Chain A
């Protein structure tokens, strides 16, 4: 029985290899168009466009700022949750947001996803000033946030979950075949073959697979920026590896990732950039290669580091 499944899996991958490259869902087509801001050249390749901010590029895909926060403040009554945050999220890369509990990570992503708007400062999307006041505004820009609860319906299958809220209709009826094909293409483009049966209810999936479905849903919704809230917090070793490889895969699809994480192992495995918040201040940000475990821990726990590292992190004004 199992051998047969395996055979089917293999034959499906053969099919893909024949075509030379992973199938690109149609959804990605408009991402390849030049934007009005000119931050990206009109080529489908991610040639370095504009001037990358960090000292580290080379293997970096694009690096032009996709989202930029300037002097963003957020208060809850007398509590200053965020103070003067200056953060650049480069396009097509993985930015990790780290910090201790209560440092302001969640406040920061909720501000970007439109749960609440900032009290001060400005947000720029591809160089243009934007106002993200509601989650709908964020979705319109192409920002999708995958919260820890994942927002999946256990009783529905993978396809049904991925299309929830924007089902494909044919003569007023659900177009199951088209939805299944699109979902399958998206999952394959993310190299997600671990969820072998796409018509399996989500309840029967493992934690990592569920996380992957939630991410695939965001990709299928044509997101430019996917924000992951502690994607590996509840996962074991192999499941974590699976999710991290998915994160890597996202950037190869041209999707930018902002990942909140406590876990330095995860951060150093996948992040191109690292930003560390401490007590509402952005205390350090820069290419992940500028940090090591010690300095990262120092910043997360005390807000500063005296240790010598390969390159000194670009310190944010605080």
Chain B
């Protein structure tokens, strides 16, 4: 190599043309592609540029949520052609409510998937949360609903924390520890139901009106619109405020038109959601309004998105999932972050349990935690989270959970039995993972050398 190259890159170079030319040779065409592929939000100045960069990113393998949205549309179209009631207000609301459990379980799973771990116990941990709260609400305890629910969530958080502690302190594989958790929680669940005096035939009825109304009660029609307006205004304000701050600090920000487009798309989705839920879907008596569980899940989604994207804890979770050795050398307390993640997974699973019992109006030993956990992993992975850690967001669980709920719901409408339901879900899961892996591989082969 020519030694003359060294001084040429010493700053500040008075000659303008020199350094970009040097850059050309260093990174070449591949880097030019990579930089466009990296983050269109930060590279583009206009909407047109953004869209072109985005297409480039998708083609280079980082397809984002595109396949899952495509899949969702395809499934909706297929089912609507088969069963015309699929897109009715009643069924869509029902679908969203069914999806709530999958979405919450998927978010529980994402916390540990991000670390590169897995939690097989979430299904039965959810069951334990449901049973503990139902047990305390029922006679002879008759505790107020919020005490019972808090106790249920506390118990599932505790179970998660114990599993996390065992995994991190004893350096055991999470697969085995949470497999033990799956079995142990099923046993615990059956034990509590059997010792509960009001349980008849292995079932505890939910006596609390509030808990029952979580899924079965609806927000008022006017309240729905008010909440939507407040949420949209807050979203628009924070988006524009963030961009303004970035611009003021001299950093690149997404083009204004893009932010407007995002806000508009969110508004359309929100209005659609509220409109569907506010239409009369009753069969004998009029039923309108958003089921309470939908805003509840959205609040959890927002909280986790904030936790994962805006806090130190979230950053460390991604760092550990990306390169745990680098995280360790950066002084991050790996054991602590991992344990907290498992505890949060337990907490979220507990919430899923509360929603589950609210939907059924009771909780029984018949809860199939084994299948639920598989749906949880499937929801996270179909939504776009990586099983190998470091990639995934709470919103991925939302998309994946809704897709699974759509399949589940549509096949129920078609009157299919469990056999084809399982098989079709299997095919969708495989397809989602395959699409993701193939896209990524073709992107990687075009990328820079490792």
In the bound complex, residues from chain B placing their C-beta under 8 Å from that of A149 are 325
**Shortest CB–CB separation between residue A22 and chain B, in angstroms?**
5
Does B12 count as interface, using CB distance less than 8 angstroms?
yes
Pairwise interchain contact B326-A245, C-beta atoms closer than 8 A: no
Across the interface, which residues of B come within 8 angstroms of A239, CB to CB?
A: 26
Partner of B27 from the list A173, A206, A245, A270 (CB cut-off 8 Å) is A206
Looking at chain B's contact residues, the main secondary structure is: helix
Chain B hits for A21, CB < 8 A: 12
Please indicate the chain A residues that have their CB under 8 angstroms from the CB of B232 in the complex: none
> Taking the complex as formed, is B327 at the interface, i.e. its CB lies under 8 A from any CB of chain A?
yes
A-B contact pairs, 17 of them (CB 8 A): A21-B12, A22-B11, A150-B326, A151-B323, A151-B326, A153-B319, A153-B390, A160-B319, A164-B315, A164-B330, A177-B251, A200-B34, A200-B39, A201-B38, A204-B38, A207-B448, A241-B26
Summed over the interface, the residue pairs from A and B with CB atoms below 8 Å come to a total of 158
Residue of B nearest to A12 (CB): B250
Q: Which residues of B contact A249 (CB under 8 A)?
A: 10-11
A190 to chain B, nearest CB (A): 9
What residue of chain A has the Cβ atom nearest to residue B332's Cβ?
A165
Alpha-carbon distance A211/B3, docked complex (angstroms): 20
Contact A151 B329 (CB under 8 A): yes
Say if the beta carbon of A317 comes within 8 Å of chain B.
no
Whether B32 sits at the interface, judged by CB under 8 Å, is yes
Contact partners of A265 in chain B: CB under 8 A: 1
Query: Which residues of the partner chain A approach B14 to less than 8 Å between Cβ atoms?
Result: 17
Report whether B35 and A241 are in contact in the complex, using a CB–CB cutoff of 8 Å.
no
Question: A9-B20, A177-B246, A200-B35 given as contacts; is B315 within 8 A of A160 (CB)?
Answer: yes
In the bound complex, CA of A191 to CA of B250 (Å): 19
A226 to chain B, nearest CB (A): 15
Question: Does B39 contact A174, Cβ atoms closer than 8 Å?
Answer: no
Q: Nearest Cβ in chain B — how far from A18, in angstroms?
A: 10
| Minimum-distance CB pairs A-B, first 3 | A165-B330, A153-B322, A155-B322
Min CB distance A241 to B, Å, is 5
Complex CA gap A70/B311 in Å reads: 46
Q: Does B19 contact A (CB under 8 A)?
A: yes
A134 → chain B closest CB, angstroms: 12
| Distance between Cα atoms of A119 and B281 in the complex (Å) | 80
Cβ of A172 within 8 Å of any chain B Cβ, yes or no, is yes
Q: Which of A1-57 contact B (CB under 8 A)?
A: 1-2, 4-6, 9-10, 13, 16-17, 21-22
Q: Which residue of A lies closest to B30 (CB)?
A: A206
Given the complex of chains A and B, what is the CA–CA distance between A157 and B449 in angstroms?
A: 17
A305, CB-defined interface residue at 8 Å = no
Interface membership of A197, Cβ < 8 A: yes
The proximity string for B residues 15-42 relative to A, scoring 1 for CB distances below 8 Å and 0 otherwise, is 0100110010111001110111111001
Which residues of chain A have a CB within 8 Å of any CB of chain B?
Answer: 1-2, 4-6, 9-10, 13, 16-17, 21-22, 135, 149-157, 160-161, 164-167, 169, 172-174, 177, 180-181, 191, 193-194, 196-197, 199-201, 203-209, 237-242, 244-245, 248-249, 252, 265, 269-270
B71 in contact (CB, < 8 A):
no
Q: How far is the CB of B25 from chain A (nearest CB, A)?
A: 5
Chain B hits for A205, CB < 8 A: 34, 448
CB distance from A206 to the nearest CB of B (A): 5
Contact assessment for A180 and B251 in the assembled complex, using a CB-CB cutoff below 8 Å: yes
Chain A residues with CB under 8 Å of B34's CB are 200, 204-205
In the complex the two chains form, is B35's CB within 8 Å of A1's CB? no
Determine the residue in chain A with the shortest Cβ distance to B46.
Answer: A4
Closest A-chain residue to B250, C-beta based? A181
Cross-interface CB contact of A241 among B5, B20, B310, B318, cutoff 8 Å:
B5
CB distance from A249 to the nearest CB of B (A): 7
CB of A248, distance to nearest CB on chain B (Å): 6
Contact B38 A199 (CB under 8 A): yes
A164 CB contact (under 8 Å) in B25, B327, B448:
B327
**In whole angstroms, how far apart are the Cα atoms of A13 and B15 in the complex?**
11
> Chain B residue with minimal CB distance to A184?
B251
Q: Within 8 Å CB of B52, what residues of A?
A: 1
Report the Cα distance A99→B178, complex, angstroms.
49
Additional A-B contact list (6), CB under 8 Å, known A151-B323, A164-B332, A204-B35 = A149-B325, A150-B326, A151-B329, A177-B245, A196-B31, A197-B39
CB distance from A268 to the nearest CB of B (A): 8
When each residue 382-401 of chain B gets 1 if its CB lies under 8 Å from chain A and 0 otherwise, what string results? 00000000110000000000
Asked if B449 and A152 sit within 8 Å, CB to CB, the answer is no
Contact B322 A154 (CB under 8 A): yes
Q: Determine if B42 and A199 form an interchain contact, defined as CB atoms under 8 angstroms apart.
A: yes
Q: Are A207 and B315 in touch, CB under 8 angstroms?
A: no
A257 to chain B, nearest CB (A): 14
Which A residues lie within 8 Å of B390 (CB)?
153-155
* Contact between A241 and B6, CB atoms less than 8 A apart: yes
Among the listed A1, A181, A191, A197, which residue makes an inter-chain contact with B10, where contact means beta carbons less than 8 Å apart?
A191
User: B9 at interface (Cβ–Cβ under 8 A)?
Assistant: yes
Decide yes or no whether B207 CB sits under 8 A from chain A. Answer: no
Query: Chain B residue with minimal CB distance to A265?
Result: B1
Contact between A197 and B325, CB atoms less than 8 A apart: no
Q: Give the docked Cα–Cα distance between A10 and B15 (Å).
A: 11
When distances are taken between beta carbons in the complex, the residues of chain B under 8 Å from A208 are 26
Most buried by A among B25, B37, B329, B447: B329
Q: What is the 8 Å Cβ interface bit string for chain B, positions 282-297, against chain A (1 contact, 0 not)?
A: 0000000000000000
Please tell me which one of the listed residues B27, B39, B311, B327 contacts residue A172 in the complex, with CB atoms under 8 A apart.
B311
* Cβ of A164 to closest chain B Cβ, rounded Å: 4
Q: How far is the CA of A196 from the CA of B24 in the complex (A)?
A: 11
Which residues in A have their C-beta under 8 angstroms from that of B35? Answer: 5, 196-197, 200, 204
Give the residues in chain B near A242, CB-CB below 8 Å: 9, 26
Residue pair B318, A156 in contact (C-beta under 8 Å): yes
- Name the contact of B6 in the complex, choosing from A4, A153, A270 (C-beta under 8 A): A270
With contact pairs A155-B322, A174-B312, A206-B31 given, residues A197 and B11 touching in the complex (Cβ less than 8 Å): no
A161 partner residues in chain B, CB cutoff 8 A: 326
Q: Is the CB of B38 within 8 A of A191?
A: no
Closest partner residue, chain B, to A154 (CB atom): B322
- Contact between A207 and B12, CB atoms less than 8 A apart: no
Query: How far apart are the CA atoms of A199 and B319 in the complex, in Å?
Result: 15
Contact in complex: B6, A197 (CB < 8 Å): no
In-complex Cβ contact of A169 among B25, B312, B321 (8 A):
B312
A206 and B32 contact, Cβ closer than 8 Å, known pairs A151-B323, A155-B318, A241-B1: no
A173 and B311 contacting across the interface, CB-CB below 8 Å: yes
Closest to B53 in A: A1
B49 at the interface (CB under 8 A from A): yes
B249 sits at the interface (CB 8 A)? yes
* Residues of chain B contacted by A240 (CB below 8 angstroms): 1
